[in-house]
Structure 1
Amino acid sequence: MAHRARRWRKATNAAAFVAAAGLTALSLGAAPGASAAATPRIDLRVLVVDNGDSPVQAITAQLRSTGIPYTTIDLNDASRPTVTAAFLADTVGGTPRARFQGVVLPNEAPFGAGSAEQTALEAYERTYGIPQVDAYTWAHPEVGLEYATYNGSLDGQAASITTAGKAGWFGYLDGGLTFEDNSPTIGESYGYLAAPRAGFTSYVDAPVPGGTGTGSLVGEYAHDGRRELVVTFAYNQYQQQFRLLARGIVEWLTQGIHLGQARNYFAVHVDDVFAPDARWDAERNCTPGDIDCVGGGEEGTPIRMTAADAAYAAQWQQEHGFTMDMVYNAGAGEEWKTENGGTDPMADRLLADKARYRWINHTYTHPFLGCVQDTSTVPWSCAKNTAGATQYMSRADISAQIRDNNDWAAAKGLPIDRTELVTGEHSGLKTLPQQPNDNPNLSGALSDNGVKWIASDNSREPDQRAVGKALTVPRYPMNVYYNTGTEAEMADEYNWIYTSAADGGSGVCESNAASTCLAEPLDPATGYDTYIVPQEARTDLGHAIGNDPRPHYAHQSNLAEDRLLYPVMEKVLGDYKALFADNTPLENLRQSAIGTELQRRAAWQAAVAANKVTAYRIGTTVTVTAPSGTQIPVTAPEGTKKQNLIGGAVFGTPYAGARSAWATPAALQSALTLKLPS
């Protein structure tokens, strides 16, 4: 049997505070000139004043990811609108309207203290009770802080959520976080630490380096009838400290009532289950059997799980409360069984534990489903017929690969979802540079078998797209290589890819702008545990806490021999548990649910971009209209009810101290109506 090989692929008083937060979320001022009894309408949209700096852009990214509508004023655009009372508020049907529920500013006074625009904005916030986030500013009395007792690097600095923070908007965190320090030679974080003055409530503190006491990094300044969330450290959207605090910043900004929702996700697909994987050759620096591995030579012993590995997988899942997706090739397993005496204890063990996993069709024997590959040259090319047209695998052959794998699963009682598919190497989909288009026979074969969700490689295609009637589900490739079974093999291949030519590597890292060379090669004995695992776990955790549901994928080879995948997953899960409270669990979704989530987000963003969504609250009533059939994401406080013609039912599901859901209007209603707790 020829063992398939592939190329490597590349996250005050607590009780009083809670009560005040609940009241603040629902308090609405009266518009100038309106009667005291008039309750204004507050549109569920955020105003972002952008000066081009990374802190504002980070918060904007969080708004966009969550699904919160926002309007941007670009301070660097000479033709931008002027901030006036009329720009910020008006009247709709005789009801005074605040056009924005919250304001994000680059600092406390970007228009200039005392300027007409700054004065108009402050009057608006005071009149309607609108919160303001100062994305990044220095510590000084005008933002409710004493002058800084420390300003400088925060790399590696430990910070903690205060009692007020835990009781309020940052209660989804367990209490502590550490600022990233990924390079000893590059400054990554800068900030100010200062003591609060009267009216300031700190939510995130840090000890003063080289000094005594603590200083605030994030806190609320209540003054002059206004509220500001003051952030005194610089950040970008990718840094872990921001991703941990982003939810709290946005919830404070919207007072816990907004369109959109954000959750944390982690799913791991294990490809090639039942099949063997080819092994990396440390001498030739390639994988024999791979069509790009030139120079002859025999294939090494393939990597394949044993019965003990299969038993360990089930035990590990139970101990860690986490379910893996087994992406299986039944035909490859049957071939292995035939070639190895007609028995397969590993397959028997996995099938005995079949109910413990999720299973996904990976085609019967894992062929390349795209163009016919001409391997007479390196790199390979798509074969042409006599007329010069590209030759592709036929619809019948693709369909058979999907169908036969499904039929095998049915015979074995595997709990599969036939709408899900992962093709071998994501083949059939376009593969640049050789195959710039999808196999034209692929979409028909998907329809033949009822496939709605086909996996794609996020490093190639990060956006969901249609393939006939199916939609892609982008997956993150993990830097745990399919062709390595031991830590030494993994470190050796990693060195080849990420080490300069002068240090014995391929030098690819020197010519690839998106890559960084290692300072020196990793020690084969320790490099995997001390360097690769922390790096990969950090990347994966970044995806997980970034409201990104896309799954990650590795291979069955990584559950065999040295069982390389487990240390990465354990670190992701362990670090997550240490950072987040129990009310904010990791969502572990199967492929179809991930595809649905991405599909809903795309439809929602399109509706918002087309200005087809209207959402506002008046008092304790929230009203949202959107195009018919559109799923509407909403986040609201505990106690919120969805209204229908005969009453109300509890809205959404609990997450991170709030309730959220995708929802549609009740029967016979044209708008989604929610009743907030009074």
Structure 2
Amino acid sequence: MVIRNRTSRTAAALAAAALMSMALPAASAEAAAATPRIDLKVLVVDDGGSSVEAITAELRDTGVPYTRVLLGASGRPVIDAAFLSDTVDGRPRARYQGVVLPNENPFGEGSAEMAALAAYETAFGIRQVDAYTWAHPGVGLEYTDNGGYSGQLDGTRAAVTAAGKAGPFGYLAGEVAFEDNSPLVPESYGFMGRPRAGYTSLVDAPAGAGRASLVGEYAHDGRTELVVTFGYNQHQRQFRLLARGIVDWLTQGVHLGRSRNYFAVHVDDVLAPDARWNSELDCTPGDYACPGGEGRESTIRMTADDARYAVQWQQAKGFTLDMLFNAGAGEEWKAENGGTDALTAQLLADKARFRWLNHTYTHPFLGCVQDTAADPWTCTKDAQGNVRYMSRAEISAQIRDNVAWAAAKGVPLDRTELVTGEHSGLRTLPQQPQDNPNLAGALADNGVKWVGSDNSREPAQRPVGAALTVPRHPMNVFYNTGTNAEMADEYNWIYTSRAHGGSGLCEDNPATSTCLPAPLDTATGYLGHIVPQEARTALRHVLANDPRPHYVHQSNLAEDRTLYPVLDRVLDDYRTLFAPGTPLVNQSMKDTGVELGRRAAWDKALAAGRVTAYRIGATVTVKAPSGVLAPVTAPTGTRKQLLLGTAEFGSAYAGTRSAWTGPELLQSAVVLRLPG
């Protein structure tokens, strides 16, 4: 009885303390009435240009709420005082924490809308981004003929200034190199100007005998603008490097949304051999239709030396590969090659060095029963005209037997993860427009919650029974090549016109590929052309807050080890561009699945208007639907309100702290206390 009373009194005291911590005012009632509420949403005024679209994409892809006003749309809202602010519970409210404009005044001289925005920004301390403008005194810069420059910027080696490093771009190592992917195509244009009074340059570049600004902060008339004087789109590296800082500057470091630079690489078919491309036949004998390929089959498989090199490379680069293995295919190879397998022995000796992922036991096609006599293959049907599918029991055995092998060998494995061979079992257009109806049950039988899919076919996460897909980016390093020359030869076949001896696929699909002007030299084409292009594509994904893993094949770690030059370039370029406090996030497929699921729930809540978030002084409040975690970014030193007291908020990344977060015990909202 004594214990029960003590427990009851303690619970009551905790509940009372919690209510007090939620109800106590941060300051006097008089001060609170004068402190405005700033809603955590951005206003985007869109002229249809690529620069505004790029910033909008950054907001959307990182989870920052925004309202978009299309300048050219009929019936668009008028931007006036009533549109921008009102009063809630007797307190002045700013509806937007930041404003993105196409330029410093897209409404025209003397515009009432611009006057309303200027008054709003001054009254509430709201910042404005001028997405793309020219260098002139109206934005705090000298004209370009006074120590500046205007023209093409391809290849310009800009740099973050000391003020930029101390401010919004401190996550960068320093250089902001403008892309120059083709000497035949102008890619960037802009203006560089020397700062006038009130302007602080954040990114500059050489101009004449000195340097001039490309991005800067212009403080004037009680307002602050971020002035960008070069054009860009959402994919260009120069924008991607600066995007995070633009948003942090705009929101003064406090906003909904969360961003990381992710990179994971799945190596499929480990322990199994892969069929080899035949440069004479221009096809792959032993793999679907290859006229004339009978008896000319050849395979590519890693060796023990390749496995040892993979470990050494990982240690040198500080990066972990995901090994997607087919144990049964390895056992078959061993039986056909004298009963020994040095590759498997070496990988098992270093099993703790890699992340391992189930890729099925023998890599069969888990969808419909295929008729491969023709190209493309088709699904076979029974006498009644029904598509024939691999059974639930067969699929389950492929999953279970690979797990059992791993357990017997002591291979660390998360049984909730699975990538099927060729992403089979999932719908494969056009031949198999639906999932194998037996797949979801087999996944459930084996506790699989995350199943890999091909991002080029299905970029969105979706359910497969109780499991969820995790889309993966295919890297253009071909599974059926082991040497640089083979890579260049097959690349030529795919990406050159028929007139140049290619397949003409690039001519038939101009929307998805571009024909090479001439075939690559097979001796130099891989390292000279393909590697830079594939590394650039992968790094673009990394810089876009895209957690989806990339996938290649074990053949790319064999023979010429074609994968490593691509990965070396991605990793080296990344570490040259970013400060140590902004590391690559190399996470598991399950963690990526969780991230994508949280994003989908958050986007749905935003679209339904079910998120309320605002800042009053040094207190941030976020309310979302029950069960939906909110992505929040805040300055270092931010504390989260607990039942009793506070705790440090989030995890450190790129100079800020951020987290997916929800209310604490007995709270209906997330409450954060900002530093200072």
Which TM-score applies when normalising by structure 2? Answer: 0.94
Q: Is the 8 A contact 1:421 1:453 kept in 2?
A: yes
> C-alpha distance in 1, partners of 2:643/2:550?
43
Partner residue in 1 for 2:64: 68
Question: Aligned ranges for residues 144-293 of structure 1 at < 5 Å?
Answer: 144-148=140-144, 149-208=148-207, 211-293=208-290
> C-alpha distance in 2, partners of 1:504/1:538?
27
Match 2:439 to one of 430, 437, 442: 442
SS at match of 1:488: helix
Partner residue in 1 for 2:539: 541
> C-alpha distance in 1, partners of 2:329/2:239?
45
Q: Is the 8 A contact 2:288 2:373 kept in 1?
A: no
> C-alpha distance in 1, partners of 2:374/2:327?
31
Letter in 2 for 1:393: M
* Residues 1:47 and 2:46 are matched in the alignment: no
Match 2:135 to one of 139, 161, 170: 139
SS at match of 1:592: helix
> C-alpha distance in 1, partners of 2:549/2:296?
31
Using the TM superposition, give the Cα deviation of residue 403 of structure 1 relative to its aligned residue in structure 2, in angstroms: 0.5
Q: Deviations over 1:523-581 (max 9, x none)?
A: 11111111111100000000011100000000000100000111111110000000000
Partner residue in 1 for 2:550: 552
Partner residue in 2 for 1:630: 628
Using the TM superposition, give the Cα deviation of residue 116 of structure 1 relative to its aligned residue in structure 2, in angstroms: 1.0
Partner residue in 2 for 1:570: 568
Match 1:657 to one of 655, 658, 675: 655
Q: Is the 8 A contact 2:266 2:551 kept in 1?
A: yes
> C-alpha distance in 1, partners of 2:335/2:286?
21
Partner residue in 2 for 1:345: 342
Question: Aligned ranges for residues 109-128 of structure 1 at < 5 Å?
Answer: 109-128=105-124
Partner residue in 1 for 2:604: 606
RMSD across aligned positions (CA): 1.0
Shift >3 Å, 4+ stretches: 34-37
Q: Is the 8 A contact 2:289 2:373 kept in 1?
A: no
Letter in 2 for 1:465: R
Match 2:364 to one of 352, 364, 367: 367
Q: Is the 8 A contact 2:271 2:325 kept in 1?
A: yes
User: Percent identical across equivalent pairs?
Assistant: 70
Partner residue in 2 for 1:329: 326
Partner residue in 2 for 1:511: 508
Letter in 1 for 2:161: T
SS at match of 2:299: coil
Letter in 1 for 2:584: L
Q: What is the aligned residue count?
A: 643
> C-alpha distance in 1, partners of 2:628/2:429?
35
Match 1:583 to one of 571, 581, 584: 581
Match 1:77 to one of 55, 59, 73: 73
SS at match of 1:319: helix
Using the TM superposition, give the Cα deviation of residue 47 of structure 1 relative to its aligned residue in structure 2, in angstroms: 0.3
SS at match of 1:218: strand
Q: Deviations over 1:224-244 (max 9, x none)?
A: 000000000000001111000
> C-alpha distance in 2, partners of 1:599/1:292?
39
Using the TM superposition, give the Cα deviation of residue 500 of structure 1 relative to its aligned residue in structure 2, in angstroms: 1.1
Using the TM superposition, give the Cα deviation of residue 367 of structure 1 relative to its aligned residue in structure 2, in angstroms: 0.2
Structure 1 residues 101 and 213: alpha-carbon distance in aligned structure 2, compared to 1, 3 A threshold: same
Using the TM superposition, give the Cα deviation of residue 37 of structure 1 relative to its aligned residue in structure 2, in angstroms: 6.4
Q: Is the 8 A contact 2:284 2:293 kept in 1?
A: no
Partner residue in 2 for 1:532: 530
Per mean C-alpha deviation after superposition, the further-off stretch among 469-478 and 507-516 is: 507-516
> C-alpha distance in 2, partners of 1:36/1:53?
41
Structure 1 residues 36 and 608: alpha-carbon distance in aligned structure 2, compared to 1, 3 A threshold: closer
Q: Is the 8 A contact 1:203 1:218 kept in 2?
A: yes
Q: Is the 8 A contact 2:153 2:178 kept in 1?
A: yes
Q: Deviations over 1:287-328 (max 9, x none)?
A: 001113223432433100001111111111111100000000
Letter in 2 for 1:153: Q
Q: Is the 8 A contact 1:278 1:299 kept in 2?
A: no
Q: Deviations over 1:397-427 (max 9, x none)?
A: 0011000001111101111100100000000
Letter in 1 for 2:628: T
Letter in 2 for 1:122: A
Letter in 2 for 1:173: L
> C-alpha distance in 1, partners of 2:376/2:422?
16
Q: Is the 8 A contact 2:556 2:562 kept in 1?
A: yes
> C-alpha distance in 1, partners of 2:293/2:321?
37
Using the TM superposition, give the Cα deviation of residue 177 of structure 1 relative to its aligned residue in structure 2, in angstroms: 1.9
Q: Is the 8 A contact 1:104 1:132 kept in 2?
A: yes
Using the TM superposition, give the Cα deviation of residue 36 of structure 1 relative to its aligned residue in structure 2, in angstroms: 9.9
Letter in 1 for 2:162: T
Letter in 1 for 2:425: G
SS at match of 2:289: coil
Using the TM superposition, give the Cα deviation of residue 376 of structure 1 relative to its aligned residue in structure 2, in angstroms: 2.9
Partner residue in 2 for 1:641: 639
Match 1:596 to one of 594, 597, 601: 594
Per mean C-alpha deviation after superposition, the further-off stretch among 448-457 and 376-385 is: 376-385
Question: Aligned ranges for residues 449-468 of structure 1 at < 5 Å?
Answer: 449-468=446-465
> C-alpha distance in 1, partners of 2:269/2:259?
32
Letter in 2 for 1:500: S
SS at match of 1:91: strand
Partner residue in 1 for 2:21: none
Q: Deviations over 1:592-648 (max 9, x none)?
A: 000100000010010011010000010000000000111111000000000012110
Q: Is the 8 A contact 1:491 1:524 kept in 2?
A: yes
SS at match of 1:627: coil
> C-alpha distance in 1, partners of 2:639/2:375?
62
> C-alpha distance in 2, partners of 1:360/1:317?
17
> C-alpha distance in 1, partners of 2:380/2:667?
57
> C-alpha distance in 1, partners of 2:298/2:90?
78
SS at match of 1:229: strand
Letter in 1 for 2:385: G
Using the TM superposition, give the Cα deviation of residue 511 of structure 1 relative to its aligned residue in structure 2, in angstroms: 1.5
Q: Is the 8 A contact 2:272 2:329 kept in 1?
A: yes
SS at match of 2:300: coil
> C-alpha distance in 1, partners of 2:41/2:437?
43
Using the TM superposition, give the Cα deviation of residue 35 of structure 1 relative to its aligned residue in structure 2, in angstroms: 8.3
> C-alpha distance in 2, partners of 1:236/1:653?
30
> C-alpha distance in 1, partners of 2:482/2:293?
22
> C-alpha distance in 2, partners of 1:190/1:661?
37
Q: Is the 8 A contact 1:279 1:299 kept in 2?
A: no
Q: Deviations over 1:188-246 (max 9, x none)?
A: 100001101000001000112xx221111100000000000000000000111100010
Letter in 1 for 2:58: Q
Per mean C-alpha deviation after superposition, the further-off stretch among 511-520 and 470-479 is: 511-520
* Residues 1:616 and 2:614 are matched in the alignment: yes
> C-alpha distance in 2, partners of 1:637/1:299?
62
> C-alpha distance in 2, partners of 1:613/1:259?
10
Q: Deviations over 1:52-93 (max 9, x none)?
A: 000000000000111000001111111110011011000100
Q: Deviations over 1:439-495 (max 9, x none)?
A: 111011000011111000011111111111111100011111010001110110011
